[in-house]
Structures are given as C-alpha cells and as structure tokens.
A and B are shown apart, each in its own frame.
Chain A
Amino acid sequence: MPEARVIQIDGRDGPGTSPRRARRAARCSAVAGDGERCREKAVAEGLCGEHLAQHERSLATATAPEWEQKLAGALAFVRRRVTGDYPIDDFGFDPDLTEHVLLAAMRPLYEKYFRVEVRGLDNIPSTGGALVVANHSGTVPIDAMMTQLAIYDHHPAHRHLRMLGADLVFKSPLIAPLARKGGSTLACNEDAERLMSGGELAGVWPEGFKGIGKPFSERYKLQRFGRGGFVSAALRSGVPIIPCSIVGAEEIYPVIGNVKILARLLGFPYVPVTPFFPLLGPLGLLPLPSKWIIEFGEPIATDELGSGAADDPMLVFNLTDQVREVIQQTLYKLLLARRSVFF
C-alpha cells in the first residue's frame, strides 16, 4: 500500500491499512499530498465513486438546515474522538476538545453568569509570541479560564491562551489531563520560553496561590509577583508583556477563613471558608454572580532591551514592579468606575 506509507511518513492521518481501506485506497489514487481524505482531489480528477459520494453528501449538508449541519459537526467530532483522530501538540494541548467542549462548557458562565466585559483586546497581537500577565483571585482559577475564553471568542485572530499553571495542577488526578488538553503547561522557564519562542500567546498569573487564596479583606491588593521568572522568560524570548486586570473574580468566593490543618492534611495550599461554604454544603460551591471586567493594557516591549537583559536581576526586578504597578492601577481605576459588584 504505497499511499498509506506516504501518509504515515508525513505524520498526518490518512487511511490506515485495514483490508477494506486498503482496497479502497487501491481503487482511488486521489489522496491529497497532505494526507487529507481525497474528496477535493477526487472531484478534480473524477476518481473513486465512494469518495465522490461522500463529497456530494457534504455539499448537500452545506445547504442543509442549521441543525443538520450541527448534527454533522457533532457526529464528526464524536468519530474523531472515538478513533483518536485529532492533533495534540508537544505540550498536550488538544485544540479539538478545547474548542468544541471545554470552551463551549464555559461559555454560558462567561456570557450569562458573570457577563464578562472585555476591553483592550487590540493590545494583543494577532500573531507571534506574547505574554499576558494577570492578577489572580477567586479561590479556584476561574479567572484564568474566563481570560482564555475572552481572547478566543472576541479577539479577531481567535487565539488560544496557553496558560502556565502550578505543579499542583499537574499532580492532581482528573484536573491534570484537562489542564493539559485545555492548553496549560507547567509554569517553568523552559516551557514558558518554548511556548513564546514558538509564537504562542502565553498567560501567567504570577501571584500564584498567594493571590488566588487570599482572604476577602485583601481583595484587589496584588500580592508579590513570584520571583519575576515570567519577566526573564519574556525577555529571553523577546516577546511583549501584556498586563491584564481582572475585576469581579475576587467576589465569586469571598474567603473569610482558611482551615490550615485540613489544608496541610490534604496537601492543598489552602481550604477556604466562605459565608456559604462549607455551611451550605455543595450549594456553597456555587460562585456568586459578580459582574466581571477584563482589561488588557498596553503591551510592554522587551525586545529592545537586548539579549543580556534577562540576566540583569535589577532590570528584571524593575520590570516586574512596573507590570505589577500597571495592573494595580488599572484595578483601582476599574473598581472606581464600576457601579456595583453584581451589575
């Protein structure tokens, strides 16, 4: 089966080598160079009745009512999932699953529940590497997911935000594979630089657990920005830093206490107590429907600082402070302008 061989070397999925497929492939030589199914080429060359029929059917669905197209899309998705026919990048990112399931599941939360308002999207470049740096809050990292969805849905280039997460995320069963499939990877310099030099849009929440688990009384007060590792990664990759301020996430779970003993027992960084959790049990897990604003600030260029800049601790420190200050000031500005927490 020479065709099947060529496709495998090319790394794309083409016909496998089951007898039925092999027979079909022998009959129809119209396999496109990229290994895609042969519809287009078959039409052009007038080959292979089976694939022509498929093509006509897909043309028919193009004029079919919307629900039918959706059904066809859903069926194709299920087929891809069942047979393992989807791309995965080196970090474990699964765009097929992310676009069709993970982001779709968050969309109602984004649009109807938190009514996220997003500003300054034109500060994110349409192509090339960049680093989004944002404030972290809300006990569970819903803010990161909402930022990802905001960029994917509303940025003209529909970019995927590749988030850098704590190693606890990748240690936790069930969460770890979802995080990787959703585009996250471990927050370490190697991965950050690999993403950004590869032209990806990376996102980092440098306050980490200090930010996300802080008590309600300290809301919108930025914590320390780690050790500035994100700044040196951006400097090394020569990509701009885009400060991002998220308002609204602080109020979804107002943390009034922390069960430190339980946290230590379970190996979690904190076990939050809110006015509703654990008092109301599972109902207390429902986030409060605050109104959110996500604002992307003007990019801070790093490429003109030179290649040695990442090894200058003072410069890294100052730049870290600058980013932090921009986010903090934007937060104050947004807080002054918002009418209430919930509207």
Chain B
Amino acid sequence: MSSRVVLITGVSRYLGGKLASLLSADPSIERVIGVDVVPPRQDVGRTEFVRADIRNPIIAKVIASAQVDTVVHMSVIATPFGAGGRTAMKEINVIGTMQLLAACQKAPTLQKLVVRSTTAVYGSSSRDPALFTEGMEPRAQFRSGYGKDSIEVEGYVRGLGRRRPDVDVTLLRFANFIGPRIDTPLTRYFALPAVPRMLGFDPRIQFVHEDDGIEVLRRAVLEQRRGTFNVAGSGVLLLSQAIRRAGRPAVQIPSPAVSAVGSLFRRVGLVDFSPEQMQFLQFGRGVDTTRLVEDFGYRPAYPTRAAFDDFVAGRELKRYIDPDRVAGIEQRVLAEVERRRAAHA
C-alpha cells in the first residue's frame, strides 16, 4: 500500500519544504499538498500549496476533497521565537495537532500518518540513562516547552492510532537537527563568535544530519514503517568537544549567572535559550537508535560527529582555532627540537 496523495503540514519550513520537493519529484506520488500559514520560500516542485492554519476546519475539507491517504505532520514548532510567545506556540502545537488529528480520524481515505516528534520528549536530567530507548519515559517532570508539547502531541497521535487501527502511524523522534543548510536554535548557538556554556557541566549531545532526517521522513512516507523510532546519528559529542571542533572559544558561565545570560541572549534575539534548552545544555541527552537501524531499516549516513563536522564545513564557519594551524605549530616545535638535537650530535 503506497501513498498517492500526501498532505504535509509545516511545508514552508526547511524540512517540510525539502520533503515536499523530494516527494513531488517521485512519479509514484500523484499529488503533494503542502499546508502552512505562510507560503514556502524554497522550491517545492509541483506541490500544491494551501495557505491555512491547521487549527482551521478547512484542513478537514482539504483532506476529504483531495482524498488524502497520507498525512505528514511536521508543524510542531520547537521555540516560541517565531510563534509570538509561548502561549501561541502551545496553541499551534497542541491545539493544532488535535484539530488535524480530528480531521484525520474522520477521513476514510487516510491510510498513513507520519509525525515528526523529538527526542526532547525524554527530557534531560542528571538521572537519565546514557541512552534512551523508545520505551522509556522521561525521568524529570516537564513544566512547559517543546518537550511537554511533544509529549502531548504524541499522546493524541497514539489516541488516533487506537481509534483508527487501520491507519499506519509512524512516530519519528528526531534528535537535534544539524547540517549546512538547516537553521535551528543550536546551529545559531554554535555560530556565535564565542560559545557560552555552563561552568562545571559538559553534556553529551547527539545530532541528526538534515539529509538523514529527510531521508527517514521520505522512507516513512513511501514504505510501511509502523511504530515509534528514535532518529539520530550514532555516537555522541561532548558539548565542549563540539565547540572545539567548531574552532570557537567557549565562555564558561557559572550557574548563578546562567539564567541572566540566557534571558539577555533571548532578548537581543541572538539565540533562544529557553529553560528547557538550558537544561539540555546542562545534562544533555542520548538516544538508542537500534530500532531505527533494525526495524525501520535505515542507518543514518552521518554519525553525530560527521554531521557536526559537515555543519561546520558547510556553513564555512570561521574556525578561530584552526586545526591546520595547531598541527602546524606542533610540527614546527618538533622540527625545531629535532634540529637542535642534530646540531648537538
């Protein structure tokens, strides 16, 4: 059972647009319908764009009239940055999903639902296991934020799965996206001229390369992959190590000053440091991707480290601490020592 008519929410954002253009290039797919509140800026091929809010009943009409058989829900947003505040963000994420899923449930043609979720649903705390598997629950309670929204979204998705057992539900929990083109709070963070981090903590972080992420989404649409999957590049990086690989100086901020610095950055509009993001930058998170490799059948082409290196190279971030120069200094010192020894002998 392959998809023929695909509806993608959040099509005007980077990943949604990329997926839309890939799917519209695929001849096995008849129609691609993209939904968002603003028109897409990137090329989305033959995707038909519907300007609508998913909270609007028009979505139900679109699904019914176009006989949509696959819905890809990608419009859960991670930061209150562009949404106009936390309340609006929650409104879009949770209420939007409820409305969309209500429309899905009523659509007899629907066969497949693919939802982009996040590994933020596992939270991040000092009591976390090294790697989360799909069956684990967060160890710390959320108060608000992306993780909380995503947990609620996943709850509604599971609800739909129960009420419509004929629909294949694929829930993809992505680690932090990184790559040469995508723009996320973390890519902006690593692009800062000096990267602030919390003194006394060095979290493990994990990335998924944008190309891998899109490929996983594409396969989820084209093939039958029921279930919940963590999507991340293998391996982890330490935050300090990532900053070094980006060739930037790190600024260590003692924990009492962290929230002040964070809100300063937020106010200036440089980087979004939500309390949740701060928690992540304190304790980090890692997920197990065995299920992705074995059940879903996809091994990300970029391990975490390679994904990050590709981001650094692709963005042409100026490396203030250039590895070539460091290696050059090393070689020069050794050569000098050797020369002196030879002169003595």
* A residues lining the B interface (CB < 8 Å): 4, 8-11, 13, 16-18, 20-21, 54, 57, 60-61, 64-65, 68, 71-72, 75-76, 78-79, 81-86, 88-92, 94, 167, 170-174, 176-177, 180-181, 185-186, 188, 190-191, 194
**CA–CA, A177 and B204, complex, Å:** 9
A86 touches B241 (CB 8 A): yes
B236 touches A16 (CB 8 A): no
A83 touches B321 (CB 8 A): yes
Q: Which residue of B lies closest to A169 (CB)?
A: B126
Give the distance to chain A from B79, nearest Cβ to Cβ, in Å: 26
- Give 16 pairs: A residue, B residue, CB < 8 Å, sorted on A: A11-B234, A11-B235, A16-B312, A18-B322, A54-B331, A61-B334, A72-B334, A78-B330, A79-B327, A84-B240, A84-B241, A84-B242, A92-B204, A167-B127, A186-B128, A186-B130
A171 touches B235 (CB 8 A): no
A190 touches B129 (CB 8 A): yes
B235 touches A88 (CB 8 A): yes
**CA–CA, A185 and B286, complex, Å:** 13
Give the distance to chain A from B237, nearest Cβ to Cβ, in Å: 7
B234 touches A83 (CB 8 A): no
Nearest 8 A-B pairs (CB), nearest first? A173-B200, A84-B244, A177-B202, A11-B303, A8-B306, A17-B313, A190-B129, A84-B245
A16 touches B323 (CB 8 A): yes
**CA–CA, A9 and B211, complex, Å:** 12
Q: Is B163 an interface residue (CB 8 A)?
A: no
| Residues of B close to A176: CB separation below 8 A | 126, 200-202
Residues 235-268 of chain B: 1 if any A CB is under 8 Å from the residue's CB, otherwise 0?
Answer: 1111011111101000000010000000000000
| Residues of A close to B324: CB separation below 8 A | 18, 20-21
Q: A16-B309, A75-B330, A88-B237 are in contact. Are A186 and B202 (CB under 8 A)?
A: no
Residues 187-223 of chain B: 1 if any A CB is under 8 Å from the residue's CB, otherwise 0?
Answer: 0000000000011111010000000000000000000
A177 touches B131 (CB 8 A): no
**CA–CA, A84 and B205, complex, Å:** 14
Residues 35-77 of chain B: 1 if any A CB is under 8 Å from the residue's CB, otherwise 0?
Answer: 0000000000000000000000000000000000000000000
**CA–CA, A8 and B180, complex, Å:** 14
| Residues of A close to B334: CB separation below 8 A | 57, 61, 71-72, 75
Across the interface, A8 reaches (CB within 8 A) one of B202, B255, B310, B335, namely B310
B130 touches A82 (CB 8 A): no
**CA–CA, A85 and B322, complex, Å:** 12
B244 touches A173 (CB 8 A): no
Across the interface, B200 reaches (CB within 8 A) one of A177, A181, A191, namely A177
Q: Is B343 an interface residue (CB 8 A)?
A: no
Q: A11-B235, A170-B126 are in contact. Are A180 and B204 (CB under 8 A)?
A: yes
B319 touches A18 (CB 8 A): yes
| Interfacial residues of chain B within 164-202, with CB under 8 A of chain A in the complex | 198-202
A68 touches B131 (CB 8 A): no
B286 touches A90 (CB 8 A): yes
Q: Is B102 an interface residue (CB 8 A)?
A: no
| Residues of A close to B331: CB separation below 8 A | 54, 57
Give the distance to chain B from A84, nearest Cβ to Cβ, in Å: 3
| Residues of A close to B255: CB separation below 8 A | 173
| Interfacial residues of chain B within 317-345, with CB under 8 A of chain A in the complex | 319, 321-324, 326-327, 330-331, 333-335, 337-338, 341
Give the distance to chain A from B134, nearest Cβ to Cβ, in Å: 13
| Residues of B close to A81: CB separation below 8 A | 244
Q: Which residue of B lies closest to A176 (CB)?
A: B201
Q: Which residue of B lies closest to A171 (CB)?
A: B126
Q: Is B146 an interface residue (CB 8 A)?
A: no
**CA–CA, A21 and B322, complex, Å:** 11
A88 touches B238 (CB 8 A): yes
